Amino acid sequence: MSEPKLSEPKELKSDWQQRELFALEAPKPKIIPRSEHPISRKNISREALKVLYRLKDAGHLAYLVGGSVRDMLLGLKPKDFDVGTDARPEEIRRLFRWSRIIGRRFRLVHVYFRGGKFIEVVTFRGPETAEEDGLEVFGTPYEDAFRRDITINALFYNIADYTIIDYVGGMEDLKAGIIRVIGDPDQRFIRDPVRMMRAIRHAARIGFTIEERTWEAILRHHEKIMLCAPMRVRDEWLKDVLGGWSAPWAELMWKSGLFEEVFPAYGKVLARASQKDRRFFFRLLAEMDRKVKKGRFSEAQALALFLYPFPVSSGRLPRVPERAGRPYELLRQEMKKVFYPYDFKKELFENTLQLLASVWPLKYHLLMGNSIPRRLSRKSYFEEALAVTEVILKLEKELLGIEAPRRRRRRRRRPHA
C-alpha cells in the first residue's frame, strides 16, 4: 500500500500551537524523529490511517496511542489500533458518518469499517483526580500520558510528522526492558488494583523485568485486587491464560501473591502441592503457550489444560485412572471452585468441561495400549480432547514418571454344582 501524502491545510496548527490552546504549563516531551524509530505507516492498518488523516486534516491532533505504538516499536504486530485526539466526541462523530459515541462516565467514539472492523477514538483525558465527582474531564496529551498505566504504554505516534512523543520516559524503559508504573505505584494501585495485573501481563508477554518500586508495591497491595469488580478481574486473567504467555504470567502471579487472591481455591491447592506438582503446573502452561501461539489450541483446550492440575493435585481425581469413566459431575464442581466468583460464558464452560472430562478415559486407554473405543473417537470434540490428553500424558511421564495401571484380574466363576 502506498503511503498517504502528507497534506498541510491552511488552517492546520502545529503540534505545539495546538497544545498551547489547552492553557496548561507542562514539561516538553522527548520527541523521537522518524529517522530514529522503526514505525512505518506500512505497518498501520488502512482504517487507522484513514481516521488519523481525517482528524489531522480537520485541524486536530491525531496520535496513535497505547499498545499499538509499543508493539510496533518492539517489532510485533499490533492486535488493534487506538487513536487519541484533542477533538471532542461530538466533533469526532461529525467527521465520521459511520461512527457511534459509546460510554457514560467517559465517552469515546467507535468508527466503523467494512468487515466488522472499527477504530476506537478517545479524546485526551484530564487528571484522574478530576473525575472523582463523576464528571467527564478532557485534557492535554501530557495529562493523558500520565493517566496511562505503565510508561511503555504512554508513547504517542504523531501522524503529522511521524515522530514519537514521549512524556514519561517510555522509550528508555522500552530499550532497557523495564515495566514501570507511571507516577507513585502505591497510589496508582490503590486507585485501581487491576493495574497490578496489567503490569504483570506486560512483563510476562514481552519478557520484561518489573521495576523494583513497582514490584514492591504489588507485593504490598496484592490483597486489594478483589476490591475490583469480579467481571474486570475475570477479563484480565482470561486474556493472560488464553494469550500465549500463561506460564511466565502464572509464575509472576504466584510470586506476587496475586494468584492466591484471584484463584483462592487453586492457590491453596498449589501451596500444599509437592514441588514436583507445581513444576508440572508451570511446564504444562508453557507447553500450552506453544500450542496457542501456533494457533493449534482453542480457548476451551487452553482452559482445560489450565484447570487439569487442580483436581489431581487436590487428590479429588487420580493421575492414573483405574477405569475409563468420565467424571463429569465431580469436575463440574471442581471447575466452579476455581472460577468462583467469576461469571462465565455457559458455552465456553461446558466445552471446557467436556474436554477435561474426556482426559481420564482417553488417558486410561492410551496408558493401557488399547485402541480408542468408537463411542469416544466419534465424538465431535474427540480431536481436541485427544490433543489435550497427549500434552498432559507426555509431561506426566517425563516429570512424574506415571505408568500404566495394573490390569485387574478377573475372578473365575465357580461351576455350578
Active-site positions read 80, 82, 149
Q: Which three cell numbers stand for residue 395?
A: 509431561
Asked if 353 and 331 touch (Cβ cutoff 8 Å), the reply is yes
Residue 271 CA to residue 94 CA, distance in Å, equals 56
**What is the bridge-based pairing of β-strands 99-102 and 108-112?**
antiparallel
* SS3 at position 122: strand
16-25 contacts: CB < 8 A, separation 24 or more? 18/60, 18/61, 18/86, 19/61, 19/140, 19/141, 19/142, 21/86, 22/86, 22/139, 22/140, 24/139, 24/140, 24/142, 24/143
Burial class, 233, CB count within 10 angstroms (exposed 0-12 / middle 13-18 / buried 19+):
buried
Return the closest-CA partner of residue 258 out of 201, 333, 340, 180.
201
All three cell numbers of 165: 512523543
Alpha carbon distance 232, 213 (integer Å): 25
- Residue 208 phi/psi, 5-degree rounding, is -90, 165
C-alpha cell at 64: 496513535
For residue 110 the three cell numbers come to 467507535
Grid cell in block for residue 62: 491525531
Q: Which residues contact 338 (CB under 8 A, 6 or more apart)?
A: 263, 265, 266, 307, 310
- State the Cα–Cα distance between residues 218 and 42, nearest whole angstrom: 38
The gap from C-alpha 260 to its chain's centroid, in whole angstroms, comes to 19
Structure-derived torsion over alpha carbons of residues 171, 156, 126, 205, reported in degrees to the nearest 10: -60
Contact between residue 37 and residue 164 where contact means Cβ atoms under 8 Å apart = yes
Tell me 325's DSSP state. -
Q: Which helix (H) or strand (E) holds 199?
A: helix 194-206
Confirm if 186 and 217 have CB atoms less than 8 A apart.
Answer: yes
